[in-house]
Amino acid sequence: MTTTEPPPPAGSASETTLRLGGVELARGIRAQVSSAAAELSLAGVTPRLAVVVATDDESSAWYVRSIAKTAAKSGVSCDIVDVGADATAQDVRTALEELSNDTSVHGIILQTPLPAGADFEDLAASIDPAKDVDGANPLSRGRLGAGLPAFAPATAAAVLALLDHYEVPLAGRTCVVVGRSNVVGKPAAQLLLRRDATVTICHRYTEDLARYTRTADVLVVAVGRPGLITAQHITEGAIVIDVGTTPTAEGGLAGDVDETGVSGLARGLTPVPGGVGPVTTALLLHHTIRSAQRHA
């Protein structure tokens, strides 16, 4: 066995897979956030986001660090409210209620996962819908599903923002979403449906996953299992959005898609890191700005 992979020969098919990076797009969104934050501050309002954490999960920690760093650079004030991984559901609820009642707070996000015995859907109902910048309150979810104005979960919004940024047509196209969490898979599917795509949702109980994913013009994968999607799961020319972010032993992040395997087959693939993640963070702040503007 060789320890290093030989580079692909010049002119090989892998050159045709476009890297659908999110860093540039995120930068643009952050620039909008910064100028809107500056305008708000002239009006005496400091946009403020509160992140409620009750987990030691590494993937969540990555995200929280990324939110705090990006907020600091963009003129958004960010409070990390860490109630501890041993918090009770009532501890989390109390924190969410206090932040909902605090008029200086414009955005609230509750990180997943939660401690055993704390139900996300149940707790998210305590987030003031006006401050629900990650679309977690069942009221926001229902409105989104009904096609009414509401904040979409930032990750699902980031999937659509990337597809739009790279001008991927959606109306009438076949989109397959792998993963059905309320935070990512389900809302992403709803947003795609709203854009007139034909949408299939796959999950743990889907038999013969590849049978469905191979039908996809656009494949969105949000599972959290590195290497789940291989060359046999996609059809030539597919656009693949990899939402997965699993921390690796080396301190990096791994997506759900076997990048080497699908390269040359997919028309485009989002990298991990540097794809959906940065756009998610930027959009969360963008939502916070919109909430602060309404408040002002």
Ligand X SMILES: NC(=O)C1=CN([C@@H]2O[C@H](COP(=O)(O)OP(=O)(O)OC[C@H]3O[C@@H](n4cnc5c(N)ncnc54)[C@H](OP(=O)(O)O)[C@@H]3O)[C@@H](O)[C@H]2O)C=CC1
Ligand Y SMILES: Nc1nc(=O)c2c([nH]1)NC[C@@H]1CN(c3ccc(C(=O)N[C@@H](CCC(=O)O)C(=O)O)cc3)C=[N+]21
Q: Does residue 213 have a known ligand-binding role?
A: no
CA dihedral 223, 137, 192, 181 (to 10 degrees): 20
Enumerate residues 100-139 that contact ligand Y by CB under 6 A.
109-112, 134
Min dist CB 281 to ligand X, Å, is 7
| Residue 179 is assigned to a ligand binding site | yes
Residue 134 interacting partner from ligand X, ligand Y, none (CB closer than 5 to 8 Å by kind): ligand Y
Q: Which C-beta is closer to ligand Y: that of 203 or that of 214?
A: 203
For ligand Y, the binding residue among 20, 54, 92, 253 (CB under 6 A) is: 253
Name the pairing type of β-strands 268-269 and 18-19.
parallel
Q: Which two three-digit tokens encode residue 119?
A: 């139900």
Q: Of residues 81, 184, 241, 269, which one binds ligand X by CB under 6 A?
A: 184
CB 167 within 8 A of CB 231: no
Near ligand Y by CB under 6 A: residue from 183, 197, 218, 234: 183
Rg (CA), the chain: 19
Please classify residue 148 by burial: count the beta carbons closer than 10 Å to its beta carbon, then call 0-12 exposed, 13-18 middle and 19+ buried.
exposed
Using CB under 6 A, pick the residue from 137, 213, 281, 288 that binds ligand Y: 281
Encoded one letter per residue, x for contact with ligand Y by CB under 6 A and - for no contact, window 12-51 reads ----------------------------------------
Three-class secondary structure of residue 132 per DSSP = coil
The rounded distance, in Å, linking the Cα atoms of 34 and 101 is: 26
d(CA 243, CA 254): 10
Numbered residues of the known binding site: 179-181, 245
Binding site for ligand X (CB under 6 A): 59, 112, 155, 158, 178-181, 183-185, 202-206, 209, 222-225, 228, 243-246, 276-277, 280
